[in-house]
Structure 1
């Protein structure tokens, strides 16, 4: 078994313990991402009194959507171990829409109803794209998806490193204590990954409490060490945080049950708010193609051909349907989570059957908010260290997709322009200050700008010319002369 090959492949069925361990790591990797958009939007629009319910529904819908995406329901779903969660891409557009509704005198309930209506209508755009994805091969090429996957990973690294330093607004941001906790997690994960004991990789965050036993078995070939590698790192980091005073959980006043209420706030609509949201649904479909391609590669599955195309169509279609489902249950659009591709690669567990366990855990967290509240107290440096590694692996996955392409002049220039533009707007956001507010919000995303740049280059640049260095490669059947 090579270092990159999965411990459990797509159709393998791990035992309950291995499945729970792998599933819990996926939940840890995605939990903050699932609840963060609702926290940000609700906080910005003054919806604090409804936040507990919005967070519960975000987790509940993510559980249902993950089951659909990973298990495949008819034409819906990719059939890959792909986790669904609330999309970050819509945050700026939803805040702008909510603030506009506030200006018009809308109540809290009316604001939420407008956001839900706009998202519900926009979801039909992605549903339509899922049905015609096979006709967009000229636009969504491996080069485009490779660029998008790379930008997804690189754009998320800042989030991970910020958490490593303590999180936004932390009084001890960048302190040696925070960086030390993060370093400890990284060391544990790397030790598990470099070990020949596969169970270290599968459960790398879980076995921190018994790390002495684990390290004694490092050279073993037992798969448990690889499966738990991320989990070990997180547990050890949390234990260290307890002793250093960085783990401060406040468990009073926890809510123990939340009942889903479809369209609890009603449904509204606003054309001005719909236009940017509709465009973001188009971009989200491209992101989903990139996410699913990265997950397929990490799972040892093909990333081209009819099987992959069927998975992409089902995945994008499920994205749209799940976003419609999210609107029905009073939360924001869903999408595939790129960070979970990193979990698949780190743990070596690619079995889609683990998705059932992930879905069950997310459903439980949604229905029992108290359980989810406990996970919120994992120290930021601990979680940030693990996610930074995952985000880096996503970027590597994108780079590997790009490296598989024939490096024609068109391919090279497409990659150069799209990566340059995508990273440029992230590193120098002031460069967009001259644009209208809506355009600035749209193009401030490196994924949006880089992905659209890649599509435009793919459509407009003349293709096929080999890169200069390719012209010097030996022709097929000709053995190059070796120097002595």
Structure 2
């Protein structure tokens, strides 16, 4: 789900088509590359890698969508990871500078997502799916422990059922994306964006709710 959304936003800020066979080919290639990257990262005993949404904000700010620039970025990231002295230079950047850059960067990512939504010709079905997904996403964001006691009313569940309940609770309570300054040794503040539950709800409803062929499309104007 994340790969499809990020690729769509990247195509939008890069001023290329976000519909049609060429766009669908980009989606297929991006999802395949994302899966291969996660596979090899697991072979190297690190956590699976995924597409980095913040690059969309970088493209929007710099107006540079050249693939060659992306390849050079990959080269320098590998170089900085191998040479610790160079990494230390970036670790020495003051927190206010990093905060100013990342705050605007993450806001640009959110704007890219809103821009992608603007391409949709909303129907009653689309409005319902989006509203239901936002209920879970925003609710989980505002009250992080809202799903912690979801199955407390079930008394003495079997071991298998308890495992299922625990899995559902973990999925609904764990943010899908998180940006932690502490993880990058830049500070101690952590900000989580609870979108996993919203994405699951939207995907399930999109598969379950049938299309209405005679449904009127709302005028965006």
Per the shorter chain, which TM-score range? Answer: 0.7 to 0.9
Contact map agreement 1:288 1:335 (CA 8 A) in 2: yes
Partner residue of 1:283? none
Give the distance between the partners of 2:205 and 2:101, measured in 1 at CA: 35
Matches within 5 A, 1:289-300: 289-300=4-15
**What per-residue deviation string (whole Å, max 9, x for no partner) do you get for residues 158-182 of structure 1?**
xxxxxxxxxxxxxxxxxxxxxxxxx
Contact map agreement 1:407 1:466 (CA 8 A) in 2: no
Partner residue of 2:123? 408
Give the distance between the partners of 2:88 and 2:45, measured in 1 at CA: 20
Secondary structure of the 1:300 match is coil
- Are positions 1:418 and 2:133 aligned together? yes
- Are positions 1:442 and 2:192 aligned together? no
**What per-residue deviation string (whole Å, max 9, x for no partner) do you get for residues 286-335 of structure 1?**
10111111111010011111111111111111111111211222321111
- Are positions 1:457 and 2:205 aligned together? yes
Contact map agreement 1:409 1:463 (CA 8 A) in 2: no
Contact map agreement 1:418 1:454 (CA 8 A) in 2: yes
- Are positions 1:364 and 2:110 aligned together? no
Higher relative contact order (CA 8 A, sep 6+): 1
Structure 1 gap ranges (5+): 1-285, 474-484
Q: 91, 101, 114: which is aligned to 1:399?
A: 114
- Are positions 1:304 and 2:23 aligned together? no
TM-superposed deviation, 1:437: 4.0
TM-superposed deviation, 1:400: 1.6
Partner residue of 1:329? 44
Partner residue of 1:427? 142
TM-superposed deviation, 1:399: 1.2
Give the distance between the partners of 1:384 and 1:338, measured in 2 at CA: 17
Give the distance between the partners of 2:167 and 2:101, measured in 1 at CA: 34
**What per-residue deviation string (whole Å, max 9, x for no partner) do you get for residues 170-204 of structure 1?**
xxxxxxxxxxxxxxxxxxxxxxxxxxxxxxxxxxx
Aligned CA RMSD, in angstroms, stands at: 1.8
Partner residue of 2:181? none
Matches within 5 A, 1:12-161: none
Secondary structure of the 1:390 match is helix
- Are positions 1:343 and 2:58 aligned together? yes
Partner residue of 1:466? 216
Partner residue of 1:390? 105
Give the distance between the partners of 1:294 and 1:434, measured in 2 at CA: 36
**Worse-superposed segment, 393-402 or 456-465:** 456-465
Partner residue of 2:180? none
- In the superposition, the TM-score normalised over structure 1's length comes to 0.37
- In the superposition, the TM-score normalised over structure 2's length comes to 0.77
Secondary structure of the 1:432 match is coil
How many pairs align?
185
Secondary structure of the 2:50 match is strand
Give the distance between the partners of 1:429 and 1:385, measured in 2 at CA: 26
